[in-house]
Every structure is written in structure tokens, then in C-alpha cells.
Structure 1
Amino acid sequence: MFFFPQQQIASFQKASFQALMSLTNKYMDGFQKLTELNVQTIRTLVSENEGVSNPTPENASDPGAWQSKFLTQVPEKAASYRRHFFAIVSGTGEEVAREAQSQFASYGGHMNEIFKTAADSASEVQEKAAVSLETNFKQATEASVEATAGAADAVAKNTQAIVSATTDAINTGADSATKSADKANQKR
């Protein structure tokens, strides 16, 4: 027996799909932000290196100057990239956690409602089964009592017929014996 109404199952599936889509959108937003950060970082590196690799009067006089300038900026740029990366990842994680909590809060109550409906349906089915069992038991008992009463009536009628026949036979036999005794007494 199926305890959940089809409407509740359909609404639960729809809500689950919407929750999945919402969480997927949160992850995709975070992924998009990371992609934008990587593209921006690459563009910045390319634009800075273009200026360094082109010969200008500044870097023509000292060829190692551009390398030292570039190498001193690498740790600073790496730290900046790392901060942005972790900010995006932690922000996405927080958004996903908030969304999961809100989904659980809204659909946790919905699940409680579904389970309550199932429990009510189960108790209704159980009550119907108990009533049906009681009715069937009463009907079987009544049929058994009627059959027993009919059999008792038949036995009583048969017994009465036998007693009647026996009484008639005894009376007939007694009358015959009395008549025979009277005849024997008269012959004497």
C-alpha cells in the first residue's frame, strides 16, 4: 500500500529539483568568479610583460632591471591572487551552506508534513483493517452460532422423534403385553 499522495510526491520532487538547481547556480557563480579572476590575472601578467619585453630606453640601459622588478612583484601578486581566490571559494561555500540551510528549513517541515500524512494514512488503514476484522469475526461467529443452533434444533427434533417413537413403541409393547397378560389370565 502506498501511503504518500501523488501531489505530495510531485511537490517534493519539484522542490528537490529547484533546490538542486539553486545549489548548482551557486557553484556555477563561484566557478565563474574564479574564471574571471584567472582571466584578469593572465591579462595583467601579459600587459605588464609586454612593457618589459619591448626595448625602451629605460630597460635598454639595464637588461636585468626588468627581471628584478618582475621578481619583486611576484610574491605580492601571488598573495593578492591567493586572497582573491580564497575570498571567492569561501564566499561560494558560505552561499551554498546558507542555501542548503534554507532548503532544509523549508523542506524539512515539508518532509515532516509528508511523514505525518503517511502516519495518519497508516493509522486510518489500520483502523479500517481492525473494523473489517471485527466485522468478519462477528459474522463468522454469528454464522457459527446459527449453524450450531440449527444443528441443536435438528438434534432436539430427532431426539423428540426418537423419544416419541420409543414412547409409542413402549406403549404399544406395554399394551400388547397387558393384552397378552390379560389373555393369559383369562385362559387360566
Structure 2
Amino acid sequence: MSTLTPQQLIAAQQANMDAFFGITNKAFAGFEKLVALNLQATKAAVAESQEIVSKVISAGNPGALLALQASISQPAAEKMVAYGRSVHEIVSEVQSEISAAAALQGQQLQQDAQGFVENLKKNAPAGSETAIAAWKSIFSAANATYESANKAAKQFVATVSTVQ
């Protein structure tokens, strides 16, 4: 007794494939942002290095070199902090989008599983109540595990975000 039609299986596979490629595209978009940020930071660093080398060459005495070093260190530290924030923002955005997509996929999976059990219950022969109860128990346990893992993942992300 099969309760799923080939069209339902194809639709489910298509939905899973769309979800997979959607998440993959989000990850690549984040990667592209990181590459662009790194290219921008590298280009700025090269330009600043050229300027610093010119100033070092034109500095005539050790006092001027020490003043130059002092004037460079603070902006460099600020730029590193800004770079770190930008990386964190990009990674957080991608993580948030992927988490939302995964949560949506998990909800859809739960609905599909519940629909499967309900359909099985409607079409089951008499005397199969025990088997249906077992299926319900399995799906309930899977849902509880999913919810627990989802909660733990959210707590982990919140903890990591506050540390940075």
C-alpha cells in the first residue's frame, strides 16, 4: 500500500533541490562579499603602504620616524577593528539567512511527516492502530530532537555573537 504518488515524490525532491541550491547560493553570495571586502582591504593596504614608504624615505631624522610610527599605529588598529566588524556582519548575515532557510525546510519536513501519518491513518487497514501509534511516536521523537537541536544551535550562535 503506497500512499505517495510519483508526482508527490517528484515535488518533494524538487523542493529539496530548490532548498539546497537556495542555501548554496546564499553561501556563495556571502563568499563573494568576503572576497570583495578582502580585495578592497588589500587595495587600501597597498596604497597606504606606498604612502608610508614615501613618508619614511622623506623623513630626515629619527624623531620624524618615531612621530610617523606613532601617527600610523592608531589608524591601523582602527582599520583592523572595522575589518573584523565587516567580516562579522557578512558572516552573521549569511548564517542568519541559512538558519532561516533551514528552519523553513524543517517546518516543511514536519508538516510533510504529519501529513504522511494522517494519510497512513486514513488508509490503514483495521487493526493497524499499533503501527500507526508507533509512527506517530517516531515522528514526535524526531520533532522533539529537531526542536532541541535547533534551540541549542540558536543558543550557540547567540553565545558566539556576544563573544565577538
Q: TM-score, structure 2 length as denominator?
A: 0.63
Alignment partner of 1:14 is 2:35: no
Which residue of 72, 88, 103 corresponds with 1:86?
88
**Structure with the larger RCO, 1 or 2 (CA within 8 Å, 6+ apart):** 1
Aligned equivalents of 1:45 and 1:35: distance in 2? Answer: 15
The number of aligned residues is: 124
| Rg larger for | 1
Deviations 1:96-123 (A, max 9, x none): 11222223334432333233333434x1
1:14-163 equivalences in 2 (<5 Å): 14-54=14-54, 59-60=59-60, 62-121=64-123, 123=124, 126=125
Aligned residue number for residue 141 of structure 1:
none
**Which residue does the alignment assign to 1:152?**
none
1: CA distance, partners of 2:108 / 2:3: 22
| Cα separation, 2, equivalents of 1:85 and 1:18 | 27
Unaligned runs of 5+ in 2: 127-164
Q: 1:114 to 1:10 in 2, by over 3 A?
A: farther
- The two structures, once aligned, show a CA RMSD in angstroms of 2.5
In structure 1, what is the Cα distance between the partners aligned to 2:24 and 2:98?
9
Distance change in 2, residues 1:25/1:60 (3 Å): farther
DSSP 3-state at the match of 2:65: coil
| 77 and 55 in structure 1: CA distance in 2 versus 1, 3 angstrom threshold | closer
Listed as ranges, the gaps of 5+ residues in structure 1 are 128-188
Q: TM-score, normalised by structure 1?
A: 0.56
Distance apart, 1:66 and its partner CA: 3.3
Is the 1:8–1:114 Cα contact (8 Å) retained in structure 2? no
Return the alpha-carbon distance in structure 1 between the equivalents of residues 32 and 120 of structure 2.
43
Q: CA deviation at 1:69?
A: 2.4
**Structure 2 match to 1:161:** none
3-state secondary structure, aligned to 1:108:
helix
CA contact (8 A) 1:19 1:103 kept: yes
Deviations along 1:20-60, one digit per CA (max 9) or x if unpaired, are 11111111122111111111111111111111112589645
